[in-house]
Copies of this chain bind each other. A is one copy, B any other.
Amino acid sequence: MSSELVQRILKRDVRAVATAITLIENRDPKAQTVLKAIYGQTGRAHVIGVTGAAGTGKSTLIDRLTAEYRRRKRSVGILAVDPSSVFSTGAVLGDRVRLREHFLDGEVFIRSFASRGETGGLSAAVRDAIHLLDAMGKDIVIVETIGVGQDELEIAKLAYTVLVVLMPYIGDEVQAMTAGYGEIADILVVNKADLAGAAETLRQLKAVFGESDPLVMAASALKNEGINALVEAIEQRRAQSLRNGSYEKKRLDLCRQELLALLRARIFADLAQKIGADSLDENARLIADRRVDPYSATEQMAKKAGLT
């Protein structure tokens, strides 16, 4: 069954990809069989991370980027990581009304992930899904995340190009809101550039970041302004990174990060098995009663599990 699924994924069968992503989300062991089989066909997609706070118009911007890439005859996959999708499906769908037109376009694949469970679990699932969309031949894979938390940072790190979407702010807030973005962003997009304060926000951002790293750009997704220039900038950076070797370096680094994340998950599963739930509960009880400290308990349990 897995090999049939693999064949269908490589033949760009949207329903097969959707099935495989469900396997990934459910941590079904079949997912890894599929991922192993398709991995050789990956490494071609340009993965673009788009992050920023709620209300900045990320979804609309992604919609416009998708339309522009489709105009350029590039196929697009969208993975939306939405911590709010737990129960606000209505609101999120409402937010995505414009994306619906792309549903009718066979070359656009859209899928949402809810942010739940263990730290790292989400980024692992997204990474696996990127491989699938890559293997099915998507030229562009857009990964949308909300916020600047650690998990979102991890997901942003899965991308070759990271856009951080802001909206115009007033005065001192700019610095506070954008601090930290500089570390992850390749391009800072001031969306809603038609609103008051946009010029001042741009000026302040350029004062902080200079002209190139990250690149500061204005756009109005709603009015469809600045989108072509943004795609041009993304593509130029991509071409440049291919020439100067930074793409290759990033590619190796992504593989290294993926390997570390997989090893971390693997070893923790192993630990849970070796230690067992009983010992964990028993030690938690001792710690809660202050009969042992958590650091000593950890040392003892690690010793028992055969760690050096």
Interface residues of A (CB under 8 A from B): 32, 35-36, 39-40, 42-43, 53-55, 83-88, 90-92, 94-95, 115, 119-120, 122, 146-154, 169, 172-173, 175-180, 182-183, 251-253, 255-256, 258-260, 262-264, 266-268, 270-271, 273-275, 280-281, 283-285, 287-288, 290, 293-299, 301-302, 305, 307-308
Shortest distance from the beta carbon of A231 to any chain B beta carbon, whole Å: 26
Q: Is the CB of B122 within 8 A of A150?
A: yes
One of B86, B175, B180, B302 near A180 (C-beta < 8 A): B86
Closest to A305 in B: B267
One of B149, B153, B252 near A148 (C-beta < 8 A): B149
Interface residues of A, dominant DSSP: helix
Query: CA separation between A80 and B172, bound complex, in Å?
Result: 19
Q: Is the CB of A288 within 8 A of B91?
A: no
Shortest distance from the beta carbon of A69 to any chain B beta carbon, whole Å: 25
One of B87, B94, B255, B270 near A294 (C-beta < 8 A): B255
User: Which residues of chain B have C-beta atoms less than 8 A from A308's C-beta?
Assistant: 270, 273-274
Shortest distance from the beta carbon of A82 to any chain B beta carbon, whole Å: 9
Shortest distance from the beta carbon of A75 to any chain B beta carbon, whole Å: 21
Stoichiometry, as copies per complex, reads: 2
Q: Is the CB of A176 within 8 A of B84?
A: yes
Query: CA separation between A59 and B110, bound complex, in Å?
Result: 38
One of B91, B280, B295 near A175 (C-beta < 8 A): B91
5 smallest CB-CB distances across A and B, nearest first, come from A149-B149, A150-B151, A84-B179, A88-B179, A39-B293
One of B42, B54, B252 near A290 (C-beta < 8 A): B42
Q: Is the CB of A284 within 8 A of B119?
A: no
Q: Is the CB of B39 within 8 A of A294?
A: yes
Q: Is the CB of A259 within 8 A of B287?
A: yes
User: Which residues of chain B have C-beta atoms less than 8 A from A290's C-beta?
Assistant: 39-40, 42-43
Q: Is the CB of A83 within 8 A of B148?
A: yes
Closest to A122 in B: B150
User: Which residues of chain B have C-beta atoms less than 8 A from A115's C-beta?
Assistant: 150, 180
Of A87, A251, A259, A274, the most chain B CB neighbours within 10 A belong to A259
